[in-house]
Amino acid sequence: MGAALRAGLIGGIGKRMRMKKWMLAVSMTALLAASAFGQSKESVLALMDKASAKFKSVQTDFEWDQYQAVVNEHDIQRGVMYFKRAGSNVDVAADIDGLLPDRHKKLVFLGGDLKIYSFKTGQTTSQDTSKNREEIESFLALGFGGSSRDLVKNFEISYAGMEPVSGKATYKLELTPTSNRVKSMFNHITLWIDPQTGMSMQQKALEGLTDYRLAKYTKILINQRLPENAFKLKAK
């Protein structure tokens, strides 16, 4: 094959790849524009209320990125989270898979009681959070089964339009804490809501001016049977 022919073929392939990328970008822009038309804070909250009314349980993979600006450090944790309806409340559990043994933990939040089991030590720490359950639950279960009524108790809410998350269009909500207890933990929280499910795909909680926790959720399974040990603390 001559050099000129090879150059022509390579150039043609590169041109087609650039065209595909351009078409993908145009399609995403069009999707965002179409999805955003007619949307408002009230319509997004209504979508979340609809999801809340049908909510029984959720299982989802997660990635937590805790960033500290003073040392420019990201602390990444991954695992599986479980949410289930418990009367008017939402119970939460998390299997945190640590790359090192001391990071492997199980977190269970039931009935106002927060327990954390360490696989390294085999010990469980417990904290009674019944006095501020609403504040803790409002954060742990943000976008998973909670209603708009739960949100407005602790936040001033604004709709910030559409924004893609992992290539999928989402509704973006900005939450400013109004409760002093929530203010003491977070300055601001952003939610990215899936238009199809009304569930959260991503959350970002700002702590102070620069520190934050970014939570990403994938493989979200809604109202399916949870593992039997989902809300049981592990024991050696």
172-228 tens-digit pLDDT: 999 998 878 778 888 999 999 999 999 999 999 998 889 999 999 999 999 999 999
**Residue 85 CA to chain centroid, in angstroms?**
18
Q: Are residues 48 and 74 in the same domain?
A: yes
Q: Taking the CA atoms of 132, 134, 135 and 136 in sequence, report the sign of the dihedral they define.
A: positive
Q: Compare 32 and 169 and report the one with higher pLDDT.
A: 169
What's residue 2's pLDDT? Answer: 53
Residue 185 identity: M
User: Is 96 strand, coil or helix?
Assistant: strand
* 208 and 100 within one domain: yes
Task: Write down the pLDDT at residue 154.
Answer: 82
| Domain span at 32 | 1-37
Q: Are residues 84 and 195 in the same domain?
A: yes
Q: Are 160 and 174 in contact (CB under 8 A)?
A: yes
Q: Are residues 27 and 120 in the same domain?
A: no
**In angstroms, rounded to a whole number, what is the distance separating the alpha carbons of residues 195 and 192?**
9
Do residues 126 and 210 both lie within one domain?
A: yes
Distance CA 222, CA 37 (A): 27
- Domains held by the chain: number: 2
What is the per-residue pLDDT across 146-169, written as a single tens digit (0 to 9) for each? Answer: 888 878 888 999 999 999 998 899
Maximum distance among all Cα pairs of the chain, rounded to whole angstroms: 78
Is there a contact between 45 and 70 (Cβ–Cβ < 8 Å)?
A: no
Q: Check residues 37 and 114 and name the one with the higher pLDDT.
A: 114
Predicted pLDDT of residue 35: 46
